[in-house]
Amino acid sequence: MIAEYHHVLGILGAVLGACLYAYYHATIWLGRTRPHLFTWLSYGFINGVVFIAQVLKGGGAGSWTMAVATVGVLSVAIVALWKGEKVIAKVDWLSFVGVLIGIMLWIATSDALYAVVIATLINALGFVPTVRKSIYKPWEEPAIGWSLSVLQFGFGAVALESFTLTTALFPIAVAAMNAAFVAMLLIRRRQLAAVNLL
């Protein structure tokens, strides 16, 4: 019974993830979304690391969400090469270098928990270019897509068959960061719309 519960939520998280990335790609091709390459490339590495850590620590069905997220994020990174944000600020470069340093630290550690903690911190750092861009261009990121991501990682966390700090930290942190990002997008849209009315 418990295994079925984890499998249902794992499938739900994976399906939500597939829908999220299909929707995100559609908004890119329609010209409404301009992904920042640095964020998505960073996420691809990070999600792969966390997926491996979850599998090694018995995450089971809960790790299916990370598998879908890894493939989905890398596909967005590839498309971002020619359809993404072209303005790269110094802070974007700094955050990307920080991500690369974090990846080297991860490689240097043999402990899965340390790897996930580092990956979670790198994930936050990798988010900086997209957050910076979205403060000025909040309509270039789909709030619906990021909201689906909150659900995707939320279901993935609950579906974990081995719910430990190693397996659960990353999906819970990502869900929280993405929820905060959605709130920021909606607030900035409202603020900029009010300014345009003046």
pLDDT in tens, 88-123: 888 888 888 887 887 788 777 777 788 778 888 888
Q: How many CB atoms lie within 10 A of CB 111?
A: 11
User: Is the pLDDT confidence value at 35 over 50?
Assistant: yes
Tell me the whole-structure pTM to 2 decimals: 0.79
pLDDT in tens, 49-75: 778 877 887 878 778 888 998 999 999
Q: How far apart are CA 181 and CA 3, in angstroms?
A: 33
Residue 198's pLDDT is 57
Q: How many CB atoms lie within 10 A of CB 35?
A: 26
Q: How many CB atoms lie within 10 A of CB 109?
A: 12
Q: How far apart are CA 182 and CA 185, in angstroms?
A: 5
DSSP assignment of 152-198 equals: HHHHHHHH-SS-SHHHHHHHHHHHHHHHHHHHHHHHHHHHHHHHHH-
Tokens 């998505």 — which residue? Answer: 40
Domain that holds residue 186: 2-197
Two tokens, residue 99: 């991500």
Q: How far is CA 63 from the centre of its chain?
A: 14
Q: How many domains does the chain have?
A: 1
pLDDT in tens, 122-133: 889 888 999 999
Q: How far apart are CA 148 and CA 59, in angstroms?
A: 21
Mean pLDDT on 180-191 = 96
What DSSP element (H or E) covers 115? helix 112-126
- With contact defined as beta carbons under 8 Å apart, do 123 and 174 qualify? yes
pLDDT in tens, 140-169: 999 998 999 999 888 888 888 888 888 889
